[in-house]
Structure 1
Amino acid sequence: MKTSLSITLLSVGTFLFSHAASANECELSIEANDMMQFSKKSLSAPSSCKEISVTLKHTGKLPVTTMGHNWVLSKAADVQAIATDGMSAGANNSYVKPDDSRVLAVSKVIGGGGQTTVTFSTEQLKQGDNYKFFCSFPGHFAIMQGTFTLS
């Protein structure tokens, strides 16, 4: 009886731990600073994630109007066009053209000390496709970008 109870508790504990670990794999974080740098050059999440949350933390001190940053996800081939179109979209639209179908996820623009989270569905992502994340604040995308992989 005691052995059976121990095995049951161990099984439940293992299930809960593995479930929590997989949920954490779907929650990513990245930082940006006043030197126009992301803290990571690549991010990845398992294809088993139905949704992915990315938290962006601005570790700098400059205000949003001077050194704002956001996190945008798109196919690699679309980055430059999205960033160019975003300049005319303005700050109120997080420097992303409204309803741009090329944009897979976009956070709000934050200034120094700020933090924001964007959550998006993985339905439109395909394993093996080339994705990039970048900052669409004017002039930032060429330097502030990295690869995103669904593994």
Structure 2
Amino acid sequence: MRSTGLFFGMLVTGLLSFATTANEVEFKVQDTDAQDTNCEVRLEANDRMQFVQKQLFVNSTCETVTVLLQHIGKLPVTAMGHNVVVALASDMQGIAADSFKAGVANHYVTPGDERVIAVSKVIGGGETTRVSFAVAKLDPAQRYVFFCAAPGHWVMMKGELVISR
């Protein structure tokens, strides 16, 4: 009898844990939907030359989208500075090739470069920046990317910008 009571107690505890986990997952999905509605997407960069997110989803109903770039590392901007550039996938290599010449003062992007849809400032560990752009600049028939334009970083620090409906 005692083992039966213990078994049922463990079963109820396990089911309650599962229900709590299911609610947490549901909350995260709702939070992601709310992020789309707010027209702001979050992107994290780290000290290992990586963006945590490999895709960013832009809601096509937004007039303007804002990319919130957060450097979650600890290294200063002079050692491991990152930015985010939004462009057509076909333009990424050309923009990146010009990054060294453009220099850090220009956020590694040639001023006035028409291939660039958006570029943020370069930030170091613990810093955050935002960059906004009009969704009307995006053609759903095209392929877009985001990447870090610091020389050499773009090889590892890139992802796809997806226009969702």
Same fold (TM over 0.5): yes
Q: 1:82 maps to what in 2?
A: 95
Counterpart of 1:101 (choices 95, 114, 121) is 114
Distance across 2 between alignment mates of 1:43 and 1:59: 17
**CA–CA separation in structure 1 for the residues paired with 2:138 and 2:73:** 31
* 1:27 correspondence with 2:44: no
Q: How does 1:47-66 map to 2 (within 5 A)?
A: 47-66=60-79
Deviation string, structure 1 residues 11-69 (Cα, Å, up to 9, x no partner): xxxxxxxxx94642x11001000000101000111211110000000011111111000
SS in 1 for 2:161: strand
After superposition, the C-alpha distances for 1:71-102 in whole angstroms (9 at most, x for unaligned) are: 10000011011011121010110000000000
Provide the TM-score with structure 2 as the length reference. Answer: 0.76
8 Å contact kept, 1:128–1:150: no
Q: CA deviation at 1:121?
A: 0.7
Matched, 1:134 2:147: yes
The TM-score, its normalising length taken from structure 1, stands at 0.83
Structure 1 residue aligned with 2:56: 43
The residue type equivalent to 2:114 in the other structure is S
Counterpart amino acid of residue 61 in structure 2: S
Runs of 4+ in 1 over 6 A off after TM superposition: none
Q: By percentage of residues, which structure has more helix?
A: 2
CA distance in 1, matches of 2:156, 2:126: 21
Deviations 1:96-134 (A, max 9, x none): 000000000100000011100001111211113100000
Structure number with greater Rg is 2
Q: How many residues end up aligned between the 2 structures?
A: 131
What amino acid maps onto 2:144 in structure 1?
Y
Task: Give me the whole-angstrom Cα distance separating, in 2, the residues matched to 1:128 and 1:35.
Answer: 33
Matches of 1:32 and 1:93 in 2, distance apart?
Answer: 19
Letter in structure 1 aligned against 2:67 = V
Q: CA RMSD in A?
A: 1.3
In the alignment, structure 1 segments of 5+ residues that lack a partner are 1-19
The answer to whether the 8 A contact 1:95-1:137 is kept is: yes
Q: 2:146 matched to 1:145?
A: no
- How far apart, CA to CA, are the structure 1 residues paired with 2:57 and 2:141? 12
Percent identical: 51
Task: Show structure 2 runs of 5+ residues with no match.
Answer: 1-32
